Amino acid sequence: MAARRRWGRFWLLLTPALLAAGALLAATASGALATSLAASGSAFKVTADRVVADGVRAVPALYTEPGEGGARHPVLRATVRRARIEGLCVSLVVPTPLGKVTLRAVAGRSDPVEGTGLSVDADSVRGKVDFTGVVAAAGGVWEGGTGGFLAATDHVVVRDGKLTGWQGAGASLRMSDPDVGLLRGEHACA
């Protein structure tokens, strides 16, 4: 009888936690909740079949991993005002005492992922790109910046995009078909 009561307590505590986690995932998928991804000591990979973005700005920056004495990585800090993403895959491979584990999220297969206020610190960006309204500046101050180099474009279309990033954030993301899983082994987006 005592064991049954412990299981009852377990389910009594676990059920609200699972409902809350489901509500957070639903709020993120519907765009009602901001999202962020940062992985201390591990870079994440993002691939997309097609990205259509407006208001893109990119500057060189230095990303410092959280914690005392965190490693520093030179990155391209890109911000995007608005984007539609088809065939999105985001993965993070993490070493554990039991071997590598991959957190992998896929979306935008049936309807594009829509995002606003996106930002990523990436050290590798590839793809077939078409730009409209490109402006590049070096050595001066741009819109309150401190100088250096800045590239901006009104509109960009990227096909077969791939990036490796250290930190990412979004003011809103709307997904109609998210598939998030934790997989044993290395299953990075290709």
Residue carrying structure tokens 């590598």: 100
Name the pTM for this structure: 0.74
Q: Report how far residue 165's alpha carbon sits from residue 77's, in angstroms, rounded to the nearest whole number.
A: 10
Give mean pLDDT, residues 33-59. Answer: 78
**What's residue 145's pLDDT?**
46
Phi, psi of 6, rounded to the nearest 5 degrees: -65, -40
pLDDT at 65 over 70: yes
Would you say 85 and 51 are in contact if contact means Cβ atoms under 8 Å apart? Answer: yes
Mean pLDDT is lowest, of 56-60, 82-86, 139-143, for 139-143
Selected residue with higher pLDDT from 22 and 52 = 52
Selected residue with higher pLDDT from 6 and 152 = 152
Choose among 9, 7, 93, 87: nearest CA to 44: 93
Give mean pLDDT, residues 113-122. Answer: 91
Give mean pLDDT, residues 119-146. Answer: 76
Q: Report how far residue 90's alpha carbon sits from residue 187's, in angstroms, rounded to the nearest whole number.
A: 10
